[in-house]
Chains A and B, each alone.
Chain A
């Protein structure tokens, strides 16, 4: 057994005025997940492959960091202290801790996921082994710690829905109670319970019912986690009846799965409500017609009693926008999309009242004209967000959605000038696509 969570070789960076950092591998196309320990130590893992350490960083003295000791072990901690005392600004490669190679646990083994998950998500493992920049070895402890960090990251991500964050919080607490290697994170328990208590009132009974009516068994463990924390922590209140019903249904369906398999496809198709059946639109409906009584170049600008300026044009300009510029200096004052208004398309614009109509220019423009050139920083943020969405879709077993997000992620990394992450994302898109077909 290794003495530390991350027994592999790590490089130490201790430049003046910068946090001390123990670097592992570079993060992948989905960026990182981070957790800050109460003593200020920040643990950063790869979001896609959380078993991979990206870096551990801390400001101040490393000697007192309990988390660092747990993560890198006593021997390398001493090595690092010696190096920092020397005051060198150069990076130092720390020795590898004594360890035996362990095959990294796969997701199915680690998270109890079903075979269809593994098929959709298993590709990530092969990418990791192929890529020269990501050849770090992982231990089961690293996988468990990394998964906990990623779960904490979900809980703190305000872009996610309260229900998603609630599920992440429940998963965090269950992992804390069931995995010995993550006990170092026990100080977070109170904080996580409190976060769940804050989130619970934001999740309605309808959302929980919807969750319990999920299409397959993917949500089984999530529901189990919610029930478990609801039993364990008296202060957490959310309606559990729909979840209990779902659990009973799942158990029943598992018993009858074999018997019903032959009929399954028939049942599946018969469930599609007639209203959702797709009909090819007729030829005339597909053609976007300009009404005969409105000339294609029709254009009217009027000021409504409300004070809004309304620009109306023919439906030939569908999908376009109107912008109002101040004649002097062509300053953009307002913009609005053209929306259907009877036989016409109209855009309503709010113009500062101290400007006279004569000092304004109204232009009908394509949407792309109003979209500026994205900065590299924005592309990086969007690429990471797309990667995170892909990872989440893959975890949920939605291979089609995962492939689309990886494709988007690859495009964005390419635009941002990062070919390494772009290639990884495209490989993931491709392997996800082949795995589902």
Chain B
């Protein structure tokens, strides 16, 4: 994950366009999303439009923050296309998937205990569905931030040798969250269907944690920029 990774200036411009507004002002990005949602017959679209813009800002930031830095020819047009594609997914009941290689992402270089607490708070506020996901995401994040916790958990189910650390963390987290049916009885193997189901759950957990971390990092970045702008005006 790329907290602290510098965005290209054009990438930053796309994020800025998406992150404008707030405090009662409707941004250009929100107006654009609102128009697309209304065309799709989503009648009460104001609230969803804000959420759509926020979701796209987080996903785009995660993509752009991954090295190497990416230059965009037309940042605003790029952000508009991202909004358009995201809404196309919504029309099919889907969410935009995060970058596929999240599991390959290096351990975090987060900014101290405060960042960790903010991510936990974000995980709680993102938890609007069945609580297993928040439960698993919180345990996953604890294991990520405190890898020493895993040392004594060898009694819990663990994946076969060769699996990634992220997968191993997810096995523990899913077990704690009560998703016991995802694991074969001791000594037995998993059939294809079980493996696929478990893989889907693992993806959801990792995505949720990455989403929370990105949201916090993005909000911190926005605050820093505001402070810098304020200082420049003074």
Residues of A close to B36: CB separation below 8 A: 18
**Among residues 19 to 59 in chain B, which have CB atoms less than 8 Å away from a CB atom of chain A?**
32, 35-36, 39-44, 47-48, 51-52, 55
Once bound together, how far apart are the Cα atoms of A158 and B89, in whole Å? Answer: 12
Partner of A418 from B42, B143, B173, B191 at Cβ < 8 Å: B42
Could you tell me if B117 and A31 are in contact, using CB atoms closer than 8 angstroms? no
Partner of A377 from B52, B172, B177 at Cβ < 8 Å: B52
Partner of B95 from A162, A206, A381 at Cβ < 8 Å: A381
Residues of B close to A372: CB separation below 8 A: 125, 127-128
Q: How far is the CB of A177 from chain B (nearest CB, A)?
A: 26
Partner of A42 from B88, B93, B176 at Cβ < 8 Å: B88
Question: With A27-B40, A305-B152, A353-B148 given, is the CB distance from A335 to B131 under 8 Å?
Answer: yes
Could you tell me if B95 and A349 are in contact, using CB atoms closer than 8 angstroms? no
Q: Which residue of A lies closest to B36 (CB)?
A: A18
Scoring A residues 335 to 376 as 1 if CB is less than 8 Å from chain B, else 0, what string do you get?
111010000000011111110000000000001001111111
**Count, chain A residues at interface, CB 8 A:** 72
Could you tell me if B129 and A374 are in contact, using CB atoms closer than 8 angstroms? yes
**Among residues 142 to 156 in chain B, which have CB atoms less than 8 Å away from a CB atom of chain A?**
142-143, 145-146, 148-149, 152-153, 155-156
Q: How far is the CB of A25 from chain B (nearest CB, A)?
A: 9
Partner of B177 from A32, A42, A162, A337 at Cβ < 8 Å: A337
Once bound together, how far apart are the Cα atoms of A329 and B93, in whole Å? Answer: 36
**Among residues 167 to 223 in chain B, which have CB atoms less than 8 Å away from a CB atom of chain A?**
172-173, 176-178, 180, 191-193, 196
Contact sample, A vs B, 19 pairs, CB 8 Å cutoff = A17-B80, A18-B36, A26-B40, A42-B88, A44-B91, A207-B192, A308-B153, A332-B134, A333-B138, A339-B178, A349-B176, A350-B139, A371-B128, A371-B131, A376-B44, A377-B47, A377-B90, A378-B129, A380-B48
Given contacts A204-B191, A350-B143, A373-B128, 20 further A-B contacts (CB under 8 A): A17-B80, A19-B84, A59-B81, A307-B149, A329-B117, A331-B121, A332-B134, A334-B176, A337-B135, A339-B178, A339-B180, A351-B142, A370-B127, A371-B128, A372-B127, A377-B48, A377-B55, A378-B129, A381-B90, A384-B92
